[in-house]
Structure 1
Amino acid sequence: MTPGTPRNRSDQTLAGSFERYLQDKGKGRGGDGGNYRRNAARELERFVEWAAGDRGNDDWTGVVPDDVDRDPTFDDLDERVFREYARHLGGDRGLKQNTVQTYYRYISAWCGWCVNEGYLEAHYAQRASAMAPLPEDDGRKPGDQQAWTSEQRHALTRHVDERSRDAIEAYTTLPEDTAPLDKQRARYAALKAARDRAFVFVLAYTAVRVGELLRDPNDPRRRGVRWEDLSLEDGSMDVYRKKQQWDAASLPDPVISPLRSYRQLMDPPTERWPVFPTFDQRTLAELVREELAERGERPEAITELREKYVRDLLLALDKDIRPPSITTDGARSILQRLSEAAEIDIDHPKHDYLAPHGGRRGMGEVLVRAFGYTVAARYLDNSEEMVRERYSHIEAGELGDVATEALEEIDSGL
């Protein structure tokens, strides 16, 4: 069946579509993993229970006619049904505005998928009349507001630290008679784990924008930080800022050791090597072949040389063939992989992994709470006005504490 082809909706139950939808949205082999899948499954289950009349107030009997005994089907759905569900979510359940919007968004995404798959004729959930009962937008943009919590930051950094230590130890303690290719495999695994650890620690603790760390294919000035840009002794790093100029960013103590260990293991041929090179095999294979050909090597010799290495990255290191830095898309892929491997609990409407910008926002939370807006603005390379706007919830909470303290003081004098 081609996408959008109408199905026989009268005998298709809502629940019967969930598994296919969740597989499409899930992570890993067979689409069985991922936080988004888990959260979406929970909300879909609540929706189908509500549609069957098992949720809501005593007057709610569901979307199936009273004189019919069956489970809800797609033939029962229209924009009025989604309007009622929006009203149900926004009812007196103690849910915050953004939470209501998030829960509805899960159902809306499924509705859109159903249109593409031919279960529904129209995206009823996105119609204005269906969404009208939802609470008004409070000005926040949930998709842009992820901030790594302290628990998430510690879980991720602990995971990459343990993984890197194990991989480096496995490589450095190999017996002397280990076969050369086995040594290469162990070194490659250690390099990749060490790069991931260094990258996560930099994101988690420096608050540098990910676009300032990595390569932008559309901007030659953003070629990704190189080892020549780092001063581990001084604890600083030169980055090309959002304001279109080079500036020094701080490297706090937690970042120094992972970077130093990673550099020692990599032993880059020159200081112009990227700190976070791509490990993508296709990209490196093409790069190695082109560079060796430009150096005068014949195709047969190139093939013979490549066969001596388990990965082209190791050949590139030995022959000083400088790879490109990873891009922001590559960073997202790395963090998706690591978030899933670390089994980090994430409940966010847009990201089912710890997104790159969340490290910066999480560090901003820490700095504002510890040192105030002025210091945080300097560290984040933002104006104090912008930092106050983005982290206004912290000041609101602090003012609430002041008000509480004032009330207690007055009440104690009565």
Structure 2
Amino acid sequence: MTPENTSGERTGRSLTDSFDRYLQDKGKGRGGDGGNYRRNAARELERFTEWAAGERGDDDWSGIVPDEVDREPTFADLDERVFRAYARHLTGDRGLKQNTVQTYYRYISAWCGWCVNEGYLEAHYAQRASAMAPLPDDDGRKPGDQQAWTTEQRHTLTRYVDERARNAIETYTTLPAETDSLDKQRTRYMALKAARDRALVFVLAYTAVRVGELLRDPDDPRRRGVRWDEISLEDGSMDVYRKKQQWDAASLPDPVLSPLRSYRKLMDPPTERWPVFPTFDQRTLATLLKDELADSGLRPDAIDEQRDEYARDLLLALAEDIRPPSMTTDGARSILQRLSADGEVDIDHPKHDYLAPHGGRRGMGEVLVRAFGYTVAARYLDNSEEMVREGYSHIEAGELGDVATEALEEIDRRIE
């Protein structure tokens, strides 16, 4: 495949020359270094570049550079036939689902459009009809097909974590006075872990806060996880950094308050700046403590002695006010996988075999739309009413179906 060269100052440059600037423009935070979109776009651009160089695809695929030329792919090699070939490659690659193929192609198409604006390309070849022709049609997945925790699932999971936390806390608070110090610490740690899990589940189940607004996102430095000074248990509110890139107050309904109060009392954070949901990862905490204690002047042997006095590094961090990072969004998913299995939650979903964090938000959206309508639900979900109507259109369709049924029954009665 030997596309005609395009004119322009930048068309002879390597494709990769544009990536850093493009990803910076699409990234979030200071310097554009963060954000899930940036991470996903970088991954797909790397795959596209490998394919263009002949490193992906069928055995007979040699890339977009003419066989007699030894160089990296450049913008001069791109035209709509290249993007058509890539669309065909995605369609047949790794058995990807239809909507996944569409998503992967959109990342490349967005980059192509940016390159037009920046002078790397003459035209948006990726959006031409012939280029997009091999892409599959939408697979028909509707918003209502996305996971949403049902009332039964929510009650099953919250009952399980509540009972688990109550038992762990009672075991800790009723220990005999003569209990060995390390044994008491181990029991407190288990109570803390159970109380943390309960608080996390209740927040995800009832607040409709996005998990990325609640916990740390390693790809977005602005999302460092909610801290205790951003929660008001008296007012029932929590300050979060919203998807719309600004701070806002989220509601903490009554079911959430008791688990948070109990958890906070048990943790007794040294300062209000501690994360509400700190990581319990042993490797992360061990590295943090060694570095912080070494910076304070302790020698390695003294650090080891101090760590040996505590059953878990988290307890030493609490004692010394060495603030750990918040758990990550991936950490929350792992916890929910474990709790969904341990709590024997009945799940029947094509994509998830556990109650995923976004399902808690969608579940609350379902409840609010059905109980109070789209306007109230939109305010609680921090979305526009238009987006909520689109996202929960299956509810309106069902309600309209009921109206149509009633109308038909009324007509039938009149005829009789």
TM-score, normalising length: structure 2: 0.66
Aligned amino acid, residue 138 of structure 1: G
Any residues of structure 2 matched to 1:49-60 within 5 Å, and which? Answer: none
Unaligned runs of 5+ in 2: 1-94, 97-135
Equivalent AA in structure 2 for residue 254 of structure 1: P
Runs of 4+ in 1 over 4 A off after TM superposition: none
Task: Give the whole-Å Cα distance in 1 for the aligned partners of 2:141 and 2:355.
Answer: 23
| RMSD of aligned Cα (Å) | 1.9
Equivalent position of 1:140 in the other structure: 142
How do 1:64-79 and structure 2 match up within 5 A? none
Show the counterpart of 2:267: 266
SS of equivalent residue, structure 1 residue 223:
coil
Amino acid aligned to 2:169: I
- Equivalent AA in structure 2 for residue 367 of structure 1: L
1:136 offset after TM fit, Å? Answer: 7.0
Aligned partner of 1:289 in structure 2 is 290
- The amino acid that maps onto 1:336 is Q
1:409 is aligned to 410
Confirm or deny: 8 A CA contact 2:143 2:394 kept in the other structure: no
Report the Cα distance in structure 2 between the residues aligned to 1:284 and 1:140, rounded to whole angstroms: 42
Q: Give the corresponding residue for 2:32.
A: none
Shift of 1:412: 2.0
1:186 is the counterpart of 2:187: yes
Secondary structure of the structure 1 residue equivalent to 2:223: strand
Evaluate the alpha carbon distance shift between residue 174 and residue 236 of structure 1 in structure 2; reply closer, same or farther with a 3 A threshold: same
Shift of 1:410: 2.3
Pairwise CA distance, 1:217: 1.6
Partner of 1:370 in structure 2?
Answer: 371
Specify the code of the residue in structure 1 equivalent to 2:299. Answer: R
SS of structure 1 residue aligned to 2:301: helix
Give the CA deviation at 1:140: 2.9
Figure out how many residues of one structure are paired with residues of the other and give that number.
284
CA deviation string 1:334-385 (max 9, x = no partner): 0011011011121212211111110000110000000000000000000100
Q: Which residue identity lines up with residue 308 of structure 1 in the other structure?
A: E
**Equivalent residue number for residue 305 of structure 1:** 306
Partner Cα distance (1:171, 1:386) in 2: 46
Q: What are the superposed Cα offsets for residues 256-304 of structure 1, whole Å, 9 maximum, x if unpaired?
A: 0000000000000000000001000010011011111111111111000
Alignment partners' CA distance in 1, 2:405 and 2:311: 64
1:18-77 Cα deviation digits (max 9, x unpaired): xxxxxxxxxxxxxxxxxxxxxxxxxxxxxxxxxxxxxxxxxxxxxxxxxxxxxxxxxxxx
1:359 aligns with 2:366: no
Does 2:311 correspond to 1:318?
Answer: no
**Cα distance in 2 between the residues matched to 1:397 and 1:222:** 37
- Local SS of the residue matching 2:221: strand
- Give, in angstroms, the shift of residue 141 of structure 1: 7.0
User: Whole-Å Cα distance in 2 between the matches of residues 382 and 288 of structure 1?
Assistant: 41
- Secondary structure of the 1:215 match is coil
Quote the residue 1:337 is aligned against.
338
In structure 1, give the amino acid aligned to 2:140: D
Q: Provide the C-alpha distance between the structure 1 equivalents of 2:286 and 2:137, rounded to a whole number of angstroms.
A: 52
CA distance in 2, matches of 1:218, 1:380: 23
Q: Which amino acid aligns with 2:139?
A: D
- Structure 2: which amino acid aligns with 1:211? G
The aligned residue for residue 204 of structure 1 is 205
Q: Which residue matches 1:226?
A: 227
Q: Which amino acid aligns with 1:353?
A: Y
What is the identity percentage for the equivalent residue pairs of Structure 1 and Structure 2? 81
Q: Which runs of 5+ in 1 are unaligned?
A: 1-107, 110-133
2:214–2:226 Cα contact (<8 Å) kept: yes
Q: CA deviation at 1:402?
A: 1.0
Task: Tell me by how many angstroms 1:135 deviates.
Answer: 10
- Secondary structure, counterpart of 1:247 in structure 2: strand
| DSSP 3-state at the match of 2:222 | strand
What is the TM-score with the length of structure 1 in the denominator?
0.66
Q: 2: distance between equivalents of 1:290 and 1:156?
A: 38
Bigger CA drift: 270-279 or 399-408? 399-408
Give the deviation of 1:409 after TM superposition.
Answer: 2.1
Paired with 1:207 and 1:136, the residues of 2 have a C-alpha distance of 28
Q: Distance in 2 between matches of 1:367 and 1:174?
A: 43
Tell me the distance in 2 between the aligned counterparts of 1:316 and 1:169: 24
Q: CA deviation at 1:413?
A: 2.5
Cα distance in 1 for residues equivalent to 2:380 and 2:250 = 8
1:254 has 2:239 as partner: no
DSSP 3-state at the match of 2:245: coil
CA distance in 1, matches of 2:378, 2:198: 26
Gap change, CA 1:223 and 1:136, over 3 Å in 2: closer
1:331 match: secondary structure: helix
Q: Which amino acid aligns with 1:199?
A: L
Does the CA contact (< 8 Å) of 2:148 and 2:361 recur in 1?
Answer: yes
1:187 partner amino acid: R
Residue 406 of structure 1: CA displacement? Answer: 1.6
TM-superposed CA distance for 1:139, in Å, is: 4.3
> Structure 2: which amino acid aligns with 1:195?
R
Task: Answer whether contact 2:239 2:250 (CA < 8 A) is retained.
Answer: yes
What displacement does 1:178 show? 0.5
CA distance in 2, matches of 1:406, 1:251: 41
- Letter matched to residue 411 of structure 1: D
Residues in 1 aligned to 2:313 and 2:399: alpha-carbon distance in whole angstroms: 54
Matched to 2:181, the amino acid is P
Residue of structure 2 equivalent to 1:152: 153
Alignment check: 8 A CA contact 2:143 2:391 kept: no
1:128 is matched with which residue?
none
For 2:310 and 2:181, the matched residues in 1 are separated by: 9
